[in-house]
């Protein structure tokens, strides 16, 4: 099973020029901002800007997870699953994975399914989960739309269909769901399912980053490294992100 180190490798998450964002993290985290708490936990996990300290990671993940941050919930689940500074406890791990997956975190959904297949937690009837997702998605609930897209992407109790996944992610993205915006941005960036479109990629990734999605921010950073046309968007979003956290 993946662990926090592989899911949140610092080399993948922290682009060049991110140092001034790091300087804001502790202050913002102490003020109770969940995105800052999550990212501070990631810094401690990877030893970025601090000595590696799993106890601090668990502390900050817990604070963010209790505020409903799905990435922190996933990370805290991984800490319990792997015994990082806590006693290994699969019940706690599954509990946090479930909270994260229910908010549309696709990685948590995969990890949760793997847990069930390996005897951790009570297996779910995925067909019922998908049916509930469909009802909520058709009623316009963006998290359900995101989750339904995830189910179509992975083939969970529905035929695997990337076009339908894209359809539901677009609906969620249009309602401001930052995870869906990130997904769509990545698809346009690499030309998967859709034709490559740098302008649309920048648009969706920027929208996600402006809501505090650190992975979207770093994807913009990658764009900046790969193509100077992205530089304006990236330089601007760094400043906005500093204010968000």
Contact 152, 161 (CB under 8 A): yes
Whether this prediction's pTM lies above 0.85 is answered by no
How far from chain centre, in Å, is Cα 192?
19
Q: How far apart are CA 130 and CA 150, in angstroms?
A: 10
Boundaries of every domain in the chain: 17-123, 125-169, 176-245
Residue 184 is predicted with a pLDDT of 95
Residue with tokens 């479930």: 98
Residue 145 is predicted with a pLDDT of 92
Contact 174, 207 (CB under 8 A): no
Element counts in the chain: helices (H) and strands (E): 15, 0
Contact 8, 228 (CB under 8 A): no
SS3 content of the chain, % helix, strand, coil (to 5): 75, 0, 25
Report, at the CATH architecture level, how domain 17-123 is classified. Alpha Horseshoe (1.25)
Residue 7 is predicted with a pLDDT of 39
Successive 10-residue mean pLDDT values, the chain, 245 residues: 39 50 80 89 82 92 95 95 92 91 81 79 71 85 89 88 95 94 92 88 89 78 58 53 50
Residue 60 is predicted with a pLDDT of 95
Residue 177 is predicted with a pLDDT of 93
Q: How far apart are CA 91 and CA 122, in angstroms?
A: 10
Residue 123 is predicted with a pLDDT of 64
Helix (H) or strand (E) holding 209: helix 198-210
Residue 3 is predicted with a pLDDT of 42
Contact 220, 234 (CB under 8 A): yes
């Amino acid at each position: 099973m993946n662990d926090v180190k592989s899911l949140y490798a610092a080399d993948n998450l922290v682009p060049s020029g991110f140092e001034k964002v790091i300087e804001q993290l502790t202050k913002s985290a102490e003020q109770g901002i969940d995105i800052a708490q999550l990212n501070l936990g990631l810094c401690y996990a990877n030893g970025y800007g601090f000595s590696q300290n799993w106890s601090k990671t668990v502390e900050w993940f817990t604070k963010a997870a209790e505020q409903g941050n799905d990435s922190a919930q996933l990370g805290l689940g991984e800490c319990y699953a792997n015994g990082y500074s806590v006693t290994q406890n699969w019940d706690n791990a599954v509990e946090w994975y479930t909270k994260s997956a229910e908010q549309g975190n696709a990685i948590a959904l995969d990890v949760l399914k793997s847990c069930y297949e390996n005897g951790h937690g009570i297996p779910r009837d995925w067909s019922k989960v998908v049916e509930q997702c469909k009802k909520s998605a058709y009623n316009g609930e963006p998290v359900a739309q995101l989750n339904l897209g995830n189910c179509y992407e992975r083939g969970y109790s529905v035929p695997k269909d990337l076009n339908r996944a894209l359809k539901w992610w677009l609906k969620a993205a249009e309602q401001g769901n930052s995870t869906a915006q990130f997904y769509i941005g990545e698809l346009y960036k690499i030309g998967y399912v859709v034709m490559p479109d740098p302008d649309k990629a920048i648009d969706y990734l920027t929208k996600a980053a402006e809501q505090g999605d650190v992975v979207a921010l770093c994807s913009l950073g990658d764009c900046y490294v790969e193509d100077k046309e992205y530089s304006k968007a990236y330089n601007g979003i760094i400043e906005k992100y500093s204010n968000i956290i």
